[in-house]
Amino acid sequence: MQAAENSVVSMHYTLTNTKGEVLDSSQGGDPLTYLHGAGNIIPGLEKALAGKQAGDKLQVTVDPAEGYGVHDPALVQQVPKRAFQGVPSIEPGMTFHAQSSQGPMRVTVTAVQGDMVTVDGNHPLAGETLNFDVEITEVRAATLEEIAHGHVHGPGGHHH
């Protein structure tokens, strides 16, 4: 069976950046399992996996626009420390949930200077070209329940 809309794909992968640094990997663990066509993984990788089957190995390069997006400078803001009430110490690398005009979003503290804190609402991998080494381990038809819920159930997927 080939990866196509409403199929469940299991794969091992290693994700590296353009410097060759490993950013994430399933090696040594369970394969990543997702429902193809449901937007469960980044678009560029999902497109490259269409038509692949168990045993296929491939290398995929995903540009930022098809990955976690281009870096948006408008999502970098300075806010006063007083906005972090109840947090005794604010350090770069800390993450918080914040309200935006588009709803809740995750922000990462990138700098603290005096009474001001710089936060970045971009995904940590926004603007990065991503390189995947992938091995497809299984492709199967999704169940009606998985299709209705928009994600995989059972091993490697969501458990209700």
**What tens digit of pLDDT does each residue of 133-160 get?**
999 999 999 999 999 999 998 765 655 5
**What's the topology of domain 7-68+126-149?**
Chitinase A; domain 3 (3.10.50)
Q: How far is CA 143 from CA 3, 38, 40, 50, 116, in A?
A: 14, 13, 16, 19, 51
pLDDT at site 75:
93
Q: What is the maximal distance between C-alpha atoms in the chain? A: 58
Looking at domain 73-120, its CATH architecture is Beta Barrel (2.40)
CA dihedral 85, 89, 93, 94 (to 10 degrees): -40
Sign of dihedral through CA atoms 148, 153, 159, 160?
Answer: positive
The domain limits of the chain are 7-68+126-149, 73-120
Q: For 147, list phi and psi in degrees, rounded to 5.
A: -65, -45
Band of pLDDT at residue 103, cut at 50, 70 and 90: confident
**What mean pLDDT comes out for the span 44-62?**
98
DSSP run (H or E) holding 148: helix 144-149
Matching residue, tokens 């992968």: 13
